[in-house]
Amino acid sequence: MTFIRLRGLPLTRTPSLIGKVSILALVANIAPFALIAWGEEHIESGTASVLNSTMPIFTALFATVVLPEERFTTARASGLVVSFLGVLVLTGNDTFDLTSSSVLGQLAVILSSACYGVGSVFSRTLLRSTDPLGLSALQVAAGAVLSVPILLAVEGIPDYSLSIEAWLCLLALGAGATGVAYVAYLWLIDVTGSVRASLVTYVIPLVGLFLGWAVLNESIGVDTLLGTVLIIGGVAIVFRGSSPGTQVRPVAPVAAAD
């Protein structure tokens, strides 16, 4: 919001758009953030980053139903199967043991990826009439406003007596990983389509596994590496031979000359 005001850019705020963006914020901001945070209390960050890379699969599935320009193909179906096998390998022998906290943590992260997939496709529909910068500003603002009553209802008044390091981490997550990232991602959706834009999740498992190993001393086992390869390979198959959707903005009719 601050950046938009400093630049003097217009910001559309119709009741209809605010309602739609509020739904988008619930699905693509609040729900996945909560699911990932809860999930990472039970699984390693590297595992979470790999499971988060399943987002393009969900995006492809939802886009097939909603967006006529992004069709489901045999390649995408094959990719879905390969990625699912990767998830099974990654979760190990406890895949169907729903009493295991680690499995529930993994399912939470996978559900967050599904939320991101829905949000990506929904964003694509909203970008037909809204610019990426304005939409990202409204989305983040709506997410912040809606999260307050949810937080108070679930956790009560939070304790903000955090260390300087924790506050700096929150600032980095808010300004960089949310503010800048959402503007860039919505611009990418607008230019390439929701399915192609979700390819950015290729980067997540690589960075997540490396930082988990380098910073948090998390181990990287054979099942983690094999599951990562299968998931990323499945995502690659989904996009093999597909072409980006073309975004066409509505053009105002030109008045006829007298």
Residue pLDDT, tens place only, 16-56: 888 989 999 999 989 998 999 899 888 888 788 778 878 87
> Which helix (DSSP H) or strand (DSSP E) does residue 87 occupy?
helix 74-91
pLDDT recorded at residue 251? 38
Stretches in the chain below the pLDDT threshold 50? 96, 241, 243-258
DSSP 183-218: HHHHHHHHHH-HHHHGGGGGHHHHHHHHHHHHTT--
pLDDT recorded at residue 166? 80
Q: Measured in whole angstroms, how far is the alpha carbon of residue 14 from the centre of its chain?
A: 25
Structure tokens at 99: 């009493």
Q: Measured in whole angstroms, how far is the alpha carbon of residue 166 from the centre of its chain?
A: 23
Q: By the 8 A CB rule, do 110 and 87 touch?
A: yes
Torsion of CA 72, 75, 80, 84, to 10 degrees: 170
